[in-house]
Amino acid sequence: MSNLTIPSMVELDVAVSDAQCAAEMAAGGAAMASEWAEASGIGEDDAREAISAAIRAHVAAESTQRARSIDEAWQFAAAAWAAAETALDADGRVVGAIAEALAS
């Protein structure tokens, strides 16, 4: 993508930043899920799912930087957000399982 115009370069930067934000959110959710699951002994499977999703988000964010087109960059960014959503959902399930255990 060496023949990019300035608006295209800006759009590429936005896609990269967007994907990096998703990867950071996924990593945060995975870290919290892992910490809570380890401390409580509850929700380990969901914590592993959050970690796996965070890795996928990170890989997608890195791929965004090597995209061959703006469209491909946005596809990688969307994949990063999908993985981040999975990580955050899994984190929520860990929290829910712990809350349920405490309420019993």
Residue-wise pLDDT tens digits, 32-66 = 999 999 999 999 999 999 999 999 999 999 999 99
Give the C-alpha separation, 30 to 3, whole Å. 38
The pLDDT, as a whole number, for residue 8 is 87
Whether the CB-CB separation of 49 and 26 falls below 8 Å is answered with: no
Question: What is the CB neighbour count within 10 angstroms for residue 40?
Answer: 15
pLDDT(81) > 70:
yes
pLDDT(75) > 80:
yes
Q: Of 72, 60, 67, whose CA–CA distance to 22 is shortest?
A: 60
Q: What is the mean pLDDT of the chain?
A: 95
pLDDT(13) > 70:
yes
| pTM for this model (two decimals) | 0.91
The pLDDT, as a whole number, for residue 76 is 98
Give the C-alpha separation, 68 to 93, whole Å. 37
> In this structure, which amino acid lies at residue 74?
W
